[in-house]
């Protein structure tokens, strides 16, 4: 690690320690009226967990080179989950205890400055302590959310049924069932096949005509997909299975000292797509036939407004004008708003956003941090007679879970109007 990286990490650890100390002060305040034995038990558990997690962070940073050599993301992602599981509740506790302290400070100032006798009954102090107690109770919300996300949330698929209507769709394709999956990030599973197997079973149960995968098969390395080749090969569709590359598939985020090795990694990943039974599309188009009629399927390489721009839309579209209806696979939805709109492409399928792997549903509307970053982040969009569907993703990266944003299998039914 460079001196700057070491300094930044030490500052990060110092901030964690300060938050730990202040949050514990809030816990201690909230439990002030409880027995000494309970407070001692809480103190022991609190600090053994805190010191243990900080120790794991330090050990991981020291051994970062070894982690990179292993090319195993699952350990680091598990550490992220463990960290969030206990750190987010501390932030809640610390925030409410800060309100407690501010209230004490305001009352102390009032007692010093206000005329008249000071009320020494102590009731105001007890009332202020309520905020720390409330913070301790509410800390269970992020704890429960993270725990759910890494245990059940990432395993419980949402099969979304989406009708897509167009008067340009040939009659022979009316009722075509298209399953879209995206962002599998197979390197995040640590070799656990169970989640992927469940998702594949759900897809096959839909008996799709077409399966389209819209990028990010892996996190960085082709070898991450090797254990899943046979499982992915079980996917069945009447017309076929087609795929594109996402931003992670190019392995641009890994540290490569040998450009030849990096190129070989991408070549191997392309071969893995074929071994899984997918026709990988690289800035090209091809015809799909059904009931004697044809539409065009287009697949472009990754193009993102803030990410890699490998894709060549003009090359992908060239010659596709002969088709009455064109369906484009493009990983990043920002491509749609910056390049695809106005092109005449009828339907674009994207992924990339993951719906931030976090959402809160209020009424019939789901809110997610993803909407602060992306104009089009999940679901079906219509503009200028063109349509975009953004899949919320099959897998996960970074945080190994999903909270209020389940992994998605999209079943699009194309309908002629």
Looking at the structure, tell me whether residues 292 and 387 fall in a common domain: yes
**Collapsed DSSP state (helix, strand, coil) of residue 148:** helix
Looking at the structure, tell me whether residues 299 and 181 fall in a common domain: yes
Looking at the structure, tell me whether residues 145 and 165 fall in a common domain: no
Predicted TM-score (pTM) of the model is 0.90
The pLDDT tens digits of the residues spanning 98-140 come to 998 888 888 888 877 876 555 544 445 455 578 889 999 999 9
Query: Distance from first CA to last CA of the chain, Å, rounded?
Result: 60
Residue 65 has pLDDT above 90, yes or no: no
Last residue of a domain, one of 121, 150, 179: 150
The pLDDT tens digits of the residues spanning 246-293 come to 999 999 999 899 999 999 999 999 999 999 999 999 999 999 999 999
Looking at the structure, tell me whether residues 188 and 90 fall in a common domain: no
Looking at the structure, tell me whether residues 122 and 199 fall in a common domain: no
Among 185, 160, 246, residue whose Cα is nearest residue 399: 185
CATH number assigned to the domain comprising residue 172:
3.60.21.10
Last residue of a domain, one of 92, 125, 150: 150
Provide the number of structural domains found in the chain: 2
Record the tokens describing residue 264, joined without a space.
Answer: 């070989």
* pLDDT at res. 123: 47
Ramachandran bin of 207, using left for φ above 0, alpha for ψ from -120 to 50, beta for the remaining angles:
left
Task: State which residues form the domain around 354.
Answer: 158-416
The pLDDT tens digits of the residues spanning 20-30 come to 999 999 999 99
For 3, 82, 129, the CA distances from 91, given in Å and listed in that order, are: 29, 15, 17
Looking at the structure, tell me whether residues 182 and 259 fall in a common domain: yes
Looking at the structure, tell me whether residues 132 and 8 fall in a common domain: yes
Looking at the structure, tell me whether residues 292 and 409 fall in a common domain: yes
Last residue of a domain, one of 150, 184, 208: 150
* pLDDT at res. 1: 63
Give phi and psi for 141, each to the nearest 5: -65, -55
Looking at the structure, tell me whether residues 293 and 197 fall in a common domain: yes
* pLDDT at res. 292: 95
Give phi and psi for 380, each to the nearest 5: -100, 135
Looking at the structure, tell me whether residues 125 and 165 fall in a common domain: no
Among 341, 358, 335, 383, residue whose Cα is nearest residue 142: 358
Residue 141 has pLDDT above 70, yes or no: yes
β-strands 293-299, 284-290 pairing: antiparallel
Q: Mean pLDDT score of the chain, rounded to an integer?
A: 93
What does the alpha-carbon distance between residue 259 and residue 359 come to, in Å, rounded to a whole number?
Answer: 39
Looking at the structure, tell me whether residues 100 and 195 fall in a common domain: no
Residue corresponding to tokens 């809110």? 367
Looking at the structure, tell me whether residues 394 and 254 fall in a common domain: yes
Q: How far from the centroid of its chain's Cα atoms is residue 124's Cα?
A: 45
Contact 190, 225 (CB under 8 A): no
The pLDDT tens digits of the residues spanning 379-416 come to 999 998 999 999 999 999 999 999 999 999 999 999 99
């Amino acid at each position: 690690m460079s001196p700057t990286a070491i300094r930044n990490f030490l500052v990060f650890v110092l901030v964690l320690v300060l938050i730990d100390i202040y949050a514990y002060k809030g816990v201690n305040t909230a439990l002030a009226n409880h027995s000494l034995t309970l407070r001692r038990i809480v103190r022991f558990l609190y600090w053994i967990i805190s010191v243990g997690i900080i120790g794991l962070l330090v050990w991981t940073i020291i051994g970062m080179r070894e982690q990179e050599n292993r090319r195993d993301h699952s350990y680091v992602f598990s550490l992220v989950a463990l960290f969030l599981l206990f750190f987010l509740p501390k932030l809640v506790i610390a925030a409410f205890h800060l309100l407690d302290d501010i209230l004490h400070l305001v009352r102390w100032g009032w007692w010093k400055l206000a005329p008249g006798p000071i009320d020494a009954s102590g009731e105001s102090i007890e009332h202020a302590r309520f905020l720390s107690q409330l913070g301790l109770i509410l800390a269970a919300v992020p704890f429960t959310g993270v725990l759910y996300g890494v245990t059940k949330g990432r395993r419980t698929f949402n099969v979304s049924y989406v009708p897509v209507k167009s008067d340009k769709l040939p009659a022979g394709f009316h009722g075509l069932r298209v399953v879209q999956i995206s962002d599998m990030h197979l390197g995040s599973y640590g070799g656990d096949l169970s989640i992927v197997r469940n998702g594949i079973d759900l897809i096959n149960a839909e008996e799709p005509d077409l399966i389209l995968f819209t990028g990010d098969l892996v996190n960085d390395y082709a070898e991450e997909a090797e254990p899943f080749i046979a499982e992915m090969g079980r996917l069945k569709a009447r017309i076929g299975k087609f795929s594109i590359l996402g931003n992670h598939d190019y392995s641009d985020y890994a540290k490569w000292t040998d450009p030849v090795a990096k190129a070989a990694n991408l070549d191997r990943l392309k071969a893995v797509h074929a071994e899984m039974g997918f026709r990988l599309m690289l800035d090209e188009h091809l015809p799909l036939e059904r009931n004697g009629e044809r539409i065009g399927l287009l697949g472009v390489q990754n193009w993102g407004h803030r990410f890699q721009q490998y894709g060549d839309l003009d090359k992908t579209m060239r010659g596709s004008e002969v088709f009455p209806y064109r369906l484009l696979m493009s990983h990043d939805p920002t491509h749609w708003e910056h390049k695809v709109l106005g092109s005449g492409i009828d339907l674009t399928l994207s992924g990339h956003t993951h719906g931030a792997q976090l959402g809160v549903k209020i009424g019939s509307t789901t809110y997610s941090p993803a909407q602060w970053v992306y104009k089009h982040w999940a679901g079906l969009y219509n503009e200028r007679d063109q349509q975009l569907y953004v899949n919320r993703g099959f897998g996960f990266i970074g945080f190994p879970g999903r909270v209020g944003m389940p992994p998605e299998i999209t079943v699009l039914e194309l309908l002629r109007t």
